[in-house]
Amino acid sequence: MLKMRLTDFDPGKIASSGQCFRMKEIAYGTHEVIAGSRYLRIGRGCTDGSFIFSCSQKEMDSFWKNYFDFDTDYGEIRRSVDPSDHYLKGAVQAGSGIRILRQDLFETIISFIITQQNNIPRIRGIIERLCMKYGRYIPEEKNRPAYFAFPEAGALAEAGIQDLEEIGLGYRAKYIRKSAQQIEGGEIVLDEIASLGYDEAKKRLLGLYGVGTKVAECICLFARHDADAFPVDVHIRRMLAEHYPDGFPFSRYRGYAGILQQYIFYRELEA
């Protein structure tokens, strides 16, 4: 157990912001996070705005701090927004507490292949069934329930198309199997993608079957933390047409437009 006082951290908003799919509220004000094969529970401190984490200081320092991007000042990002841009000001205000996670690369690839032409509640269900069927079972321990880790590439590479379809993947089943095979077989090397620059990493991700521009940018943003990546989905496309008919001011927000994109996406979801 670890108590920390944090600003710009709202687990509820992060859980429902559509960047991760295995973070959820399990009791009022208490959230669980399953990231790869790790489990974390986050509770509220008493009244002082602090949080209780179910991990040690060592695990926080070695993993979760980086995962939640605790070293970045999101208040500064929100304050940098053009004061005359009322839409964007409203979006970062409504989304204060959102952070961009650094998620596992393979988990993010598979998860965002599933997101295409899909909706978030259904995506969450599919991913949960995928984990139950192909992920490692991690037994209960005191102070933590049993859960399933996210599947390894090998398990998905060997999965049958029909077995994958039973989970509800639909036409995406073949994408999942083939991409897992490309990774397992060494055609696409994730360690290399992790170490490259944004442009080259994105180019290689596009080599995965079922990964196009939008999904590649989501992977770069939510796993590699490429804050320049600005995935445009149907919500963002509608928003751009409505609020930025002359174009989004990317030059003003160079280096972190993707973070603003996430505030915007959350705003469009809630609206």
Partner DNA sequence: AGCCAGGAAGTCC
Partner DNA sequence: GGACTTCATGGC
Binding residues vs DNA (CB under 7 A): 17-19, 115-123, 165, 168, 170-171, 175, 208-216, 218, 231-236, 261-262, 265, 269
Token digits of residue 270: 């809630």
- For the bound state, the minimum distance from the C-beta of residue 211 to DNA, rounded and expressed in Å, comes to 6
Token digits of residue 28: 């009022």
Active site residue 133: no
How far apart CA 115 and CA 108 sit, in angstroms, is 10
| Residue 84 or 119 having the CB closest to DNA | 119
Residue type, 190: L
Question: φ and ψ at 27, to 5 degrees?
Answer: -160, 165
- For the bound state, the minimum distance from the C-beta of residue 142 to DNA, rounded and expressed in Å, comes to 35
Among residues 13, 65, 133, 214, which one is catalytic? 214
| Residue 42 or 103 having the CB closest to DNA | 103
For strand 38-44 and strand 30-35, is the pairing parallel, antiparallel, or unpaired? Answer: antiparallel
| Residue 72 or 116 having the CB closest to DNA | 116
Q: Is 49 left (phi over 0), alpha (psi -120 to 50) or beta?
A: left
**255 to 22, 51, 84, 89, 198: CA distances (angstroms):** 28, 29, 21, 18, 11
Token digits of residue 22: 């295995």
| Residue 194 or 269 having the CB closest to DNA | 269
Token digits of residue 134: 């192909």
- For the bound state, the minimum distance from the C-beta of residue 136 to DNA, rounded and expressed in Å, comes to 25
- For the bound state, the minimum distance from the C-beta of residue 184 to DNA, rounded and expressed in Å, comes to 18
Catalytic residues: 214
